[in-house]
Amino acid sequence: MNQFKRIALLGLIVIAATFTAAAGNIVITLKDGRVLTYSTSQYDVVYVGAEYGQPGAIGVKIYPKGNTTSYDYLFSQMSSYEVEVSDVATPVISPADGTTFSGSLTVTITCPTSGATIYYTTNGSNPTASSTQYSGAFTVNATTTIKARAYKNGDASDVATATFTYSSTDGNANANWKSVNWNTNNGSMSYTPKTAGFWRLEVPRISDVTTSPKPSWLQKSTSAYGVTYAVEWDNSKKANRWSCYQFHAGNRDGSTTGNKEFKEDTELPSATRSTEDDYSGSGYSKGHLCPSADRKKSKDQNNQTYYMGNMQPQWQAHNGGQWNDLEGDVRTWANKCDTLYVVKAATIDNVTLNGTTENGIFSTTYNGTTYSDLKCNGVLPVPKYFYMALLAYNKNSNTYQAMGIWTKHYNSGTKGADGATHSWPVINIASAEYITIDELEERTGIDFFCNLPDDIENAVEATLNTSYWSSSSTPLTR
């Protein structure tokens, strides 16, 4: 039942509690006999001079909601002033008013008053007992104003209002979960991006799935330590596009090693997966991208780094030289932040350097004539460059630092790479290049750290803070 506060204004003003507007009516009886009624669902009340009942209070201003025009009444004009207060609490709409969303938004409405029935509208009008009755969560997929009112025993609550604004972007324009129709294993298995790990910060933007055969995406994990690493495998080129993984306190330390046995990855299509025979007698090392030294928490994780899908053909001079040194640097950097997100890869597509496009795979050349892409045992493309993308997160400062590392794939001797009897040109070792992620993306065409919110991604990828990464133990001079 609605409760009334009656204030008699005959001579002495009765001191009453400060009025807080609730559902119901304000009833003003003037000394000339007129009775004026204002619904608190349609009008706001402002006290003039002071809160009602306090020294200095001289009257009220009644504002229609959303309007600046008021009706003014002095207490000296009134014979009585009544405030109706509802027993029914105002409903609560969730999410909060002002929420911006993309896709669809799930809305719930609750009422603190037990046994109350909630009615709501989605067109901005005030709800009545004839409006839609709330029976459970519902979704909206466009900009919508929702109003709700609760009823019990004939009493009505105040109206709750929330406006939700639809936006075509949610601040993650290129995030992996925006991708659709993704299939791995050349179409034999489907993944839902959010549940398959696409959302993880280290995972680059997945490749265009319109290619044929489609690339494969997979991740290795253990129940004890979670994801070991993830891979994108190019089935058309029979090559790893990238391997990515995380370093954090739960997986970065350890001394356990596995069996060190290289093995085929049966999660990849049988016709396009790599085998040990692809390397046998070739003169190339099976170069880890996620190295075994980065996964020493458990034997199972360490063994998983030996899947052939995690390998790229490398000349041992590079694999055991500059690349090995950089891998050690990565482990050092992992210990100076809370989480280090790592992408390691080699070029299997065209690259753009200083505005010039070139083949990212070595070509077989004899007497100045280019014949074809250089391939390990005639099967696996031999990358011309190897690179890393690193993203460090420090939780105390809630900040990110990012860096790209670019190396030339080099050999230390001569090689008859295409089977002919001629010398293979030696690539001279050079210092690694330390560049912004923006520059690395320009060179490779890959969108790294796409799952970061766009404002953070744009800022961190454009910046290289050399003082953060460089130290006496890990100088940026490899």
Taking the domains of the chain in order of start, what are their residue ranges?
A: 3-85, 92-166, 176-469
| CA–CA gap between residue 281 and residue 9 (Å, rounded) | 105
Please name every residue paired with 419 in a beta bridge, in sequence order, or none if there are none. Answer: none
Q: What pLDDT was estimated at residue 2?
A: 46
- Low-confidence stretches of the chain (pLDDT < 70) are 1-24, 52, 85, 103, 168-170, 179-196, 208-211, 365-371, 413-430, 478
> CATH 3.10.180.10: does it fit domain 176-469?
no
Handedness of CA 115, 121, 125, 131 (dihedral sign): negative
The helix/strand/coil state of 225 is coil
> Peptide bond preceding 213: is omega within 30 degrees of 0, i.e. cis?
yes
pLDDT for 316-340, tens place per residue? 989 998 999 999 999 999 999 999 9
Strands (DSSP E) contained in 325-437 are 339-346, 351-353, 356-358, 363-366, 369-373, 375-376, 380-381, 385-394, 399-408, 433-435
Which CATH topology does 92-166 take? Immunoglobulin-like (2.60.40)
Q: What are the C-alpha distances in Å from 203 to residues 102, 149, 245, 349?
A: 22, 46, 8, 19
DSSP state of 123: B
| CA–CA gap between residue 217 and residue 429 (Å, rounded) | 33
Q: What pLDDT was estimated at residue 169?
A: 64
Q: What pLDDT was estimated at residue 430?
A: 58
> Peptide bond preceding 112: is omega within 30 degrees of 0, i.e. cis?
no
State pTM to two decimals.
0.64
Degrees to nearest 5, angle at CA 450 with 444 and 456: 115
Degrees to nearest 5, angle at CA 392 with 474 and 296: 75
CB 461 within 8 A of CB 436: yes
Q: What pLDDT was estimated at residue 171?
A: 75
Please name every residue paired with 234 in a beta bridge, in sequence order, or none if there are none. Answer: 239
The helix/strand/coil state of 282 is coil
| CA–CA gap between residue 475 and residue 473 (Å, rounded) | 6
323, with CB counted inside 10 A (0-12, 13-18, 19+), is: buried
Give me the residue label for tokens 């970061």.
452
| CA–CA gap between residue 171 and residue 176 (Å, rounded) | 13
| CA–CA gap between residue 170 and residue 172 (Å, rounded) | 6
- Could you check whether 92-166 and 176-469 share the same CATH topology? no
